[in-house]
Amino acid sequence: MTTHTAQSAHKEFVVQQHLIDKLINGEGYVERDPATHYDRKRAIDTGLLVQFLQSTQPDEWAKLVAHYATSAEDTLFKQLEKELKARGALDVMRNGIKIVPGIKFALCYFRPASALSPQRVAEYKANILSVMKEVEYSEKHGNRLDIALFVNGLPIATMEAKNTLTGTTFKHAEKQYKADRSPAGEPLLTFKRGALVHFAFDEDNVSMTTRLANGKTRFLPFNRGRDGGAGNPDVAGEFRVAYLYHSGDWGKAIFSREVVLDIIGRFMHLERNGKQDVLIFPRFQQLSAVRKCIAHAGAYGTGHNYLIQHSAGSGKSNTIGWLAHQTINLHDSADEAVFNTAIIVTDRIVLDRQLQATVSQFEQVAGVVKKIDGTSNQLKEAIEKGARIIITTIQKFSTEHLEAISGQGKRKFAVIIDEAHSSQSGKAAQSMSQALTREADSSDDVEDIIAAYQKSRGPQPNISFFAFTATPKNTTMQRFGSVGAGGLPHPFHTYSMRQAIEEGFILDVLQNYMTYKAYYELEKAIDDDPTLSGRKGQRKVARYASLHPTAIGQKVEVIVEHFRRHVMKELNGQAKAMIVTQSREHAVRYFLGLKKYIEDQGYNDLRALVAFSGSLDVDGVTYTEPDLTGFAESELPNRLDGVKKDGTPYPEQYQILIVAEKYQTGFDQPKLCAMYVDKKLAGLQAVQTLSRLNRIRPHKQTFVLDFQNTIEDIQTAFRPYFEVTSLEAMTDPNQVYELESRLMTFGYLDKQEVERFATTFFKGALTGADRAALQGLVKQTIARFEVDDDEGRQEEFRQLCRSYLRFYTFIAQVMNLGDTDLEKLHGYLAWLVRMLPDREVPPEIEVTDDMLSLQKFKIEEKERGNAALSPGDHEALKAIEEFGAKPYTEDEQKELSEIVKAFNERHGTTFSEADMIRFEQVNLDIMTEDLTEMLKNNPPDVVFNAYSQAFFASAVRMFQRETEMRNIIMTDQEARDKAIRHFFNRAMREAREDSAA
């Protein structure tokens, strides 16, 4: 090992030499002298290449010498140089070269999936990894590269090292590559032909690029991440970049034989991006995620869940593609295949073309990848024939074709979920699990059949789930997360939103945020008009005001002038904007108002588009999206982009897109620079909507103008997803029994009828007579439901039925419940909710100009500034509560006990705390969006009267049939006030704690 004096300790070569020493002494590299071993013209270590070929392929070498005699080596190098120029170094290393007559040379051996062939293992170990320092690479000048790495004499990486103690960093190394490492005429630096990747690094940070292009070179971070953000963590006794050359808790060293050859053989690929080839080298989080998943699955087998929380900008499609191909080639320590098939599922109706293309391009053998873009029968055949990789939508598992599949329980599946969220806990996900585990019935006993059916909902030993999402919900966390030491789930691998922002892969959309407040004054034509009173009437009045031409007109003016003044110049005049509206009618009126304002102002350089589904009547005119845009709906994304599929521009350019739900999420347009929000957003919807802006473009700025939300609202929505997402507490599975109990107290359900239903329903294929019998049983419940004239109780029952169906489906997937009664009730309720009569909806209140007139309207700026979150600004997701209110605090529990005691002492009753908690249903009924906003934004004394009146009226309705409780509420003011104050405080706390939740 090279030694250094104290005087030289701060020089740049200390970092350089440390890496080289570690590679030689720890990873088996051979150090070579560039002066004697490096061929500048060919960019090859010729001696090492010959040594490798002679030792590993002696027969082919003998054929070469026999045919070409003394010119054998020269012939080899000429043919190799031609192939490197024509095919590129990556293809040459993977597939070797051929020389007439029939001489085939492998230039690199990759790690075999199975160790059953000793020859393949020996070949892999025979690869020669080498390193050179201070490499004079050019025949034109004396420039040197600090380090070059080779495999069998072929260059794979160049490196420039800096030392921060000398005042230089990896950024100086990047600049050196851009300014002094021109690839023109330099084989080592030529894209595809030379080294596969180029690294700039210092003791703390690493960046890399696969294409040197002078000043246009783009380096990407290649760091592990530090405390949820960019950079690298400290490493005891080592530099922070030790993961390059030293194995540790991050896994094998990047430049170790195992990893570097895996990158070349299983990760790197060439893809076409527009008119330019791009050589993809995995970023650290992609490499780490795939290798960590594969290592765990190899060690522990199937039956495990892996939640991968990777932010937008993480290269998810590539990560999924690499993972899919590596799962089907994975073997365990006994050399058995861990997975037979990888199934990539998405909930998008149209399969993601980028995902399909990415997965397919890694295909080494034709036919490995089956894209299910036809019927569900195509999916059935692919599964039954044992296809290796299947790409399909989640919806295709819910069809009758898939119900016929059985006998897959002994096969092992890696299910890779493209976007994991709550739909993965629903019916389609359940159907998928059953299709991959269902066996022919081995028992005629209905109880056994139901138990097996219930068990199929839960974790399956033959299926591992690899679930990808940037924004995991609480259901996703508990369904797919890894349970840690504290008993709470967490992602198996994370690349956070914060890290992606700090590394420059996505933009922080909260940096330039402005909110507006609307003020309006309405005058009623009839002051005591009953149709305009009450909560529903108030909402209609607010909608009337928001749709009024004056309101739309003022907002349109603000939007257009802001866009022209601040946004339009972005991206050299290519900037786009999106207006997010409350409804389809709002979208159409915005479009008409925008079009009129643009025409009135003579802004000939500005055009707008509108996107909405179906047809819509506005002021007696029926509109569709194509009517207003002038072209088919499928054309809209390209029209907004301004470029046709063939790369030529459209004659007309559009700058603004107005949306209502459609395109609000899942729409990728990197030119979007501004968003104008006229819709209440909360939680995940807020994050997904605003994230349409975060795509990187050179010199791009983002702007958000928000007419409906506050900066605090939006920060609250982003907080759980900014760094690694966590869950506050695990869901209590016993809530399923609470739901079951509450459903039975209504008196509508009969346990014997549920039992008789289950006996028929679960026995197998249903006949027409069976269906008639089942329907007859359900109608008995409906008859009891219909004779109850308490609409409040009926609606509560409806909601509890739906809550049970959702909650049971979720909790049964997380754990094996072992109670067939719960499954029977689920089957019964699934039929019942479809047959329950719809609640009678009162006629819509149509607010017209005859009833109201808008006297005044103005909007004014309220907040402006940087709303970005700070490191450590995090909030855990709440536990799953499919029904009911938030858990009681200690003080609230104590107060509730005192209220119950007072009720019973004053009236000789025997109420329990459970009886009193039924008042929570009153809170659920009255806590509308308007009342929640009032409680959130006003002092308690200001809003208590309004809350009290609503609570009293709803409580009387709720207890209409329970005379004892109703009489106390109506006659005992002191008792009533205590209860109302208690539940008011609960409502106040909930409203202010987390509006997104």
Q: pLDDT tens across 725-773, in order? A: 998 888 889 999 999 999 999 999 999 999 999 999 988 778 888 889 9
Q: Tell me which DSSP letter residue 566 carries.
A: I
Q: Measured between alpha carbons, how far is 826 from 810 in angstroms, rounded to an integer?
A: 12
Which of the four pLDDT bands, split at 50, 70 and 90, describes residue 676? Answer: very high
- Mean pLDDT over 791-803 rounds to 85
Q: Measured between alpha carbons, how far is 73 from 111 in angstroms, rounded to an integer?
A: 28
- Weakest-pLDDT range from 355-359, 793-797, 813-817: 355-359
- pLDDT given at position 955: 75
Per the CB < 8 A criterion, the answer to whether 302 and 339 are in contact is yes
- Mean pLDDT over 133-140 rounds to 94
Q: Answer yes or no: do 318 and 427 share one domain.
A: yes
- Between 952 and 534, whose confidence is greater? 952
Q: Answer yes or no: do 53 and 89 share one domain.
A: yes
Q: What string of DSSP letters covers 228-289?
A: TBSS---BTTB-TTGGGTS-BTTBS-TTSHHHHHHIIIII-EEEEETTEEEEE---HHHHHH
Strand-pair partners of 390: 343, 370
Instruction: Work out the widest C-alpha separation in the chain, in whole angstroms.
Output: 114
- Mean pLDDT over 397-401 rounds to 72
- Mean pLDDT over 117-131 rounds to 95
Q: Three-class SS string for 463-515? A: EEEEEEECCCCHHHHHHHCEECCCCCEECCEEECHHHHHHCCCECCCCCCEEE
- pLDDT given at position 39: 95
Listed residues 809, 835, 861: the one ending a domain: 835
Which of the four pLDDT bands, split at 50, 70 and 90, describes residue 455? Answer: confident
Q: Answer yes or no: do 904 and 831 share one domain.
A: no
Task: Classify residue 245: in a domain, yes or no.
Answer: no
Over residues 526-578, the pLDDT tens digits come to 455 555 555 555 666 677 677 778 888 899 999 999 999 999 999 999 999 99
- pLDDT given at position 379: 87
Over 60: is that where the pLDDT of 882 sits? Answer: no
- Between 705 and 375, whose confidence is greater? 705
Provide the number of structural domains found in the chain: 5
CA atoms within 13 A on the CB side of 852: 23
| Ramachandran sector of residue 96 (left: φ over 0; alpha: ψ -120 to 50; beta: rest) | left
Of 551, 594, 520, the C-alpha closest to 855 is 520
- pLDDT given at position 522: 58
Over 80: is that where the pLDDT of 133 sits? Answer: yes
- pLDDT given at position 946: 73
Q: 3-class DSSP state for residue 466? A: strand
Q: Answer yes or no: do 707 and 807 share one domain.
A: no
> Can you read off the two tokens belonging to residue 833?
């909710």
CA-derived radius of gyration, the chain: 33
Over 50: is that where the pLDDT of 213 sits? Answer: yes
Q: Three-class SS string for 581-612? A: CCCHHHHHHHHHHHHHHHHHHCCCCCCEEEEC
- Mean pLDDT over 62-84 rounds to 96
Q: Answer yes or no: do 288 and 419 share one domain.
A: yes
- Weakest-pLDDT range from 222-236, 266-280, 476-490: 266-280
- pLDDT given at position 663: 80
Report the relative pairing of strands 129-136 and 103-105 from DSSP bridges: unpaired
Report the relative pairing of strands 576-580 and 672-677 from DSSP bridges: parallel
> Can you read off the two tokens belonging to residue 850?
């005859």
- Between 56 and 865, whose confidence is greater? 56
Which of the four pLDDT bands, split at 50, 70 and 90, describes residue 630? Answer: very high
Task: Classify residue 321: in a domain, yes or no.
Answer: yes
Task: Count other Cβ atoms within 10 Å, centred on residue 527.
Answer: 7
Over 70: is that where the pLDDT of 6 sits? Answer: no
Report the relative pairing of strands 144-151 and 154-161 from DSSP bridges: antiparallel
Q: Answer yes or no: do 451 and 559 share one domain.
A: no
- pLDDT given at position 898: 74
Which of the four pLDDT bands, split at 50, 70 and 90, describes residue 962? Answer: low
- Weakest-pLDDT range from 51-55, 356-360, 718-722, 903-907: 356-360
Which of the four pLDDT bands, split at 50, 70 and 90, describes residue 1? Answer: very low
Q: Which residues contact 907 (CB under 8 A, 6 or more apart)?
A: 964, 968, 972, 975
Q: Measured between alpha carbons, how far is 200 from 177 in angstroms, rounded to an integer?
A: 8
- pLDDT given at position 44: 97
Q: Answer yes or no: do 489 and 522 share one domain.
A: no
- Mean pLDDT over 943-958 rounds to 74
Counting residues of the chain whose pLDDT is more than 70, the rounded percentage is: 84
Task: Classify residue 730: in a domain, yes or no.
Answer: no
- Mean pLDDT over 870-894 rounds to 69
Residue in the structure block whose two tokens are 């407040």? 517
Q: Which residues contact 152 (CB under 8 A, 6 or more apart)?
A: 48, 49, 52, 107, 108, 127, 128
Q: What is the CATH number of the domain that holds 655?
A: 3.40.50.300
For 658, phi and psi rounded to 5 degrees? Answer: -100, 130
Q: Measured between alpha carbons, how far is 790 from 987 in angstroms, rounded to an integer?
A: 25
- Return the sign of the alpha-carbon dihedral for residues 623, 624, 629, 631: negative
- Between 430 and 68, whose confidence is greater? 68
- Weakest-pLDDT range from 214-223, 237-246, 688-697: 688-697
Per the CB < 8 A criterion, the answer to whether 545 and 857 are in contact is yes
Listed residues 722, 757, 786: the one ending a domain: 722
> Can you read off the two tokens belonging to residue 505?
């892969």
Over residues 422-441, the pLDDT tens digits come to 455 566 677 788 788 877 66
- Mean pLDDT over 621-645 rounds to 91
- Mean pLDDT over 384-411 rounds to 81
Which of the four pLDDT bands, split at 50, 70 and 90, describes residue 814? Answer: confident
- Mean pLDDT over 820-824 rounds to 94
CA dihedral 282, 286, 288, 292 (to 10 degrees): -130
Q: Measured between alpha carbons, how far is 22 from 245 in angstroms, rounded to an integer?
A: 6
Over 60: is that where the pLDDT of 132 sits? Answer: yes
Q: 3-class DSSP state for residue 838? A: coil
- pLDDT given at position 774: 92
**CA dist 176 → 112, 132, 225 (Å):** 39, 19, 25
Over 90: is that where the pLDDT of 646 sits? Answer: no
Q: Answer yes or no: do 433 and 291 share one domain.
A: yes
Task: Classify residue 304: in a domain, yes or no.
Answer: yes
Mean pLDDT taken over the chain = 85
Per-range mean pLDDT, top range of 317-331, 541-555, 857-871, 885-899: 317-331
Q: Measured between alpha carbons, how far is 110 from 915 in angstroms, rounded to an integer?
A: 69
Q: Answer yes or no: do 552 and 698 share one domain.
A: yes
- pLDDT given at position 358: 65
Which of the four pLDDT bands, split at 50, 70 and 90, describes residue 4? Answer: very low
Over 90: is that where the pLDDT of 815 sits? Answer: no
> Can you read off the two tokens belonging to residue 771?
């269906």
- pLDDT given at position 886: 45
- Between 444 and 830, whose confidence is greater? 830
Over 70: is that where the pLDDT of 889 sits? Answer: no
Q: Measured between alpha carbons, how far is 182 from 175 in angstroms, rounded to an integer?
A: 12
- Between 739 and 943, whose confidence is greater? 739
- Between 372 and 175, whose confidence is greater? 175
Q: Is 669 exposed, middle or buried (0-12, 13-18, 19+ CB in 10 A)?
A: middle
**CA dist 528 → 325, 532, 846 (Å):** 70, 8, 16
Counting residues of the chain whose pLDDT is more than 90, the rounded percentage is: 51
Q: 3-class DSSP state for residue 791? A: helix
- pLDDT given at position 37: 96
Which of the four pLDDT bands, split at 50, 70 and 90, describes residue 46? Answer: very high
Task: Classify residue 74: in a domain, yes or no.
Answer: yes
Per-range mean pLDDT, top range of 110-114, 300-304, 886-890, 977-981: 300-304
Over 60: is that where the pLDDT of 7 sits? Answer: no
**CA dist 585 → 535, 594, 854 (Å):** 21, 14, 19
Q: Answer yes or no: do 422 and 396 share one domain.
A: yes
> Can you read off the two tokens belonging to residue 372?
């299910």
- pLDDT given at position 47: 96
- Mean pLDDT over 167-191 rounds to 96
- Mean pLDDT over 801-823 rounds to 89
Helix axes 940-958, 973-993, angle to 10 degrees: 120
Task: Classify residue 869: in a domain, yes or no.
Answer: no
- Mean pLDDT over 502-509 rounds to 93
Element (H, E) at 781: helix 768-787
Q: 3-class DSSP state for residue 103? A: strand
- Mean pLDDT over 682-703 rounds to 90
Q: Measured between alpha carbons, how far is 448 from 465 in angstroms, rounded to an integer?
A: 27
Domain containing residue 41: 6-221
Which of the four pLDDT bands, split at 50, 70 and 90, describes residue 712? Answer: very high
Strands (E) in 162-238, as ranges, are 197-201, 206-209, 220-221
Task: Classify residue 816: in a domain, yes or no.
Answer: yes
CA atoms within 13 A on the CB side of 105: 29
Q: Answer yes or no: do 446 and 537 share one domain.
A: no
- Between 354 and 800, whose confidence is greater? 800
Q: Answer yes or no: do 93 and 169 share one domain.
A: yes
Element (H, E) at 824: helix 820-835
- pLDDT given at position 928: 62
Q: Measured between alpha carbons, how far is 796 from 777 in angstroms, rounded to an integer?
A: 22
Listed residues 221, 241, 268: the one ending a domain: 221
Task: Classify residue 972: in a domain, yes or no.
Answer: yes
Element (H, E) at 538: helix 534-547
